[in-house]
Copies of this chain bind each other. A is one copy, B any other.
Amino acid sequence: MATIRDVARLAGVSISTVSRVLNKSGYVNSETEREVNKAIQMLKYEPSDVARGLTNKKTRTIALILPDIVNPFFPELSRAVEDVARTSGYTVIFGNSDGQANKEKAYINILKQKYISGIIFASHNLNRDDVEYLQKIDIPFVVLDRAPSQEGCTVVRSNNFEGAKLAVQHLLDVGCKKIAHIYGPQEINTAKDRLSGYEESVKNFKWYSPTLMVPGNFKLDGGMNAAHVLMERHPDVDGIFVGNDLMAVGALKTLLRLGIKVPNQIAICGFDGIHLAEAVEPELTTIAQPIYEMGALAADLLIKKIEGAVVDNRIYELEVKLVPRASTTKEI
């Protein structure tokens, strides 16, 4: 491993000069610069990020804290973050928080010790204290999917409320006469917004009843169980808007096992737009979030912040899109 000293010696200049050409800062004679670059090439010199980190307190490494990479929403998001980061010369550390505030805090501490440049939180446990702490120790961060319960946060999310309305409208459009909703954990903002969107859309129908809303855990088995509950309560339901795709796939499983035809007897619409929705048969209609774009935008904003650009601490809300597929395409 060549060091900056080796380069300086070979090029016959001082360390300072090499540092200057490296960072394109200050004055360097173009002739000298050429010499230095030649030496760099010859020695295959690469500056040590660690040494730089020690002086700069920046390491060109960002962290992505998410609940659980196994949840299929997050791989796509992670991919986007990594793509953008890599292109911009950053590496990505990832950590699973399992939605536990203490794991998240522990990570913040470790990351601070490592002079991480910035953090993206795709987790749901960042509270006011954490935010204040991050601001105090001056680590740039971007949050996914959080309501702006606190000032001074850059938030990337999609329009869950409108998405839910879109879902219900679509189910109505394909002829559904009684639409139920399976919702996710209400601590999670997205789940809450989607539930609100559903309620808002259906509350004025004569068939509306609060019992049409069944809770789930945002996982496969949650969707399966909720569908069972629903079929017992309301066997006459002919459309279900499910709070996320994973539960929607679970609900689909239950219905198929009960011998119910999807979409002809019951149409299903999910939310998220993960690949899984296309793996099942019939393929799942969904309200697709621009998952990749969300990750890419979050990474982009974070890097801008890190590099000192002025980033508005505001909510970047992206639009969702109805993706109609077989699970709501009733045959005539």
Interface membership of A47, Cβ < 8 A: yes
Q: Which of B47, B70, B113 has a CB less than 8 Å from the CB of A75? A: B70
Q: Which of B46, B83, B94, B109 has a CB less than 8 Å from the CB of A78? A: B94
A162 → B minimal CB distance (Å)? 27
Residue of B nearest to A326 (CB): B257
Bound complex: CA A250 to CA B47 (Å): 47
- Residue numbers in B under 8 Å from A72 (CB-CB): 72, 75
Interface membership of A177, Cβ < 8 A: no
Most buried by B among A1, A75, A95, A276: A75
Interface membership of A54, Cβ < 8 A: yes
Bound complex: CA A231 to CA B53 (Å): 59
Bound complex: CA A79 to CA B97 (Å): 11
Render A80-98 as a binary contact track against B, CB cut-off 8 A, 1 for contact.
0011001000011111100
- Residue numbers in B under 8 Å from A250 (CB-CB): 279
- Residue numbers in B under 8 Å from A110 (CB-CB): 91
Interface membership of A281, Cβ < 8 A: yes
Bound complex: CA A182 to CA B1 (Å): 47
Q: Which of B70, B74, B95 has a CB less than 8 Å from the CB of A86? A: B95
Contact indicator A48/B115 (Cβ below 8 Å): yes
Contact indicator B95/A93 (Cβ below 8 Å): no
Contact indicator B61/A69 (Cβ below 8 Å): no
Q: Which of B70, B79, B115 has a CB less than 8 Å from the CB of A79? A: B70
- Residue numbers in B under 8 Å from A48 (CB-CB): 54, 113, 115
Bound complex: CA A72 to CA B74 (Å): 11
Evaluate whether A252 and B278 lie within 8 angstroms (CB atoms) in the complex, with A82-B94, A93-B91, A115-B48 already known.
no
Residue of B nearest to A74 (CB): B75
Contact indicator A279/B69 (Cβ below 8 Å): no
Q: Which of B51, B91, B256, B257 has a CB less than 8 Å from the CB of A95? A: B91
Chain A contacts with B in 15-71, Cβ cutoff 8 A: 46-51, 53-54, 59, 61, 68-70
Bound complex: CA A83 to CA B94 (Å): 11
Most buried by B among A47, A114, A220, A256: A114
Contact indicator B278/A281 (Cβ below 8 Å): no
- Residue numbers in B under 8 Å from A47 (CB-CB): 113
Q: List 18 A-B contacts (CB under 8 A).
A: A50-B50, A51-B54, A69-B69, A69-B82, A70-B79, A74-B75, A75-B75, A83-B96, A91-B93, A91-B114, A92-B93, A92-B94, A94-B94, A220-B279, A249-B279, A250-B279, A256-B281, A279-B279
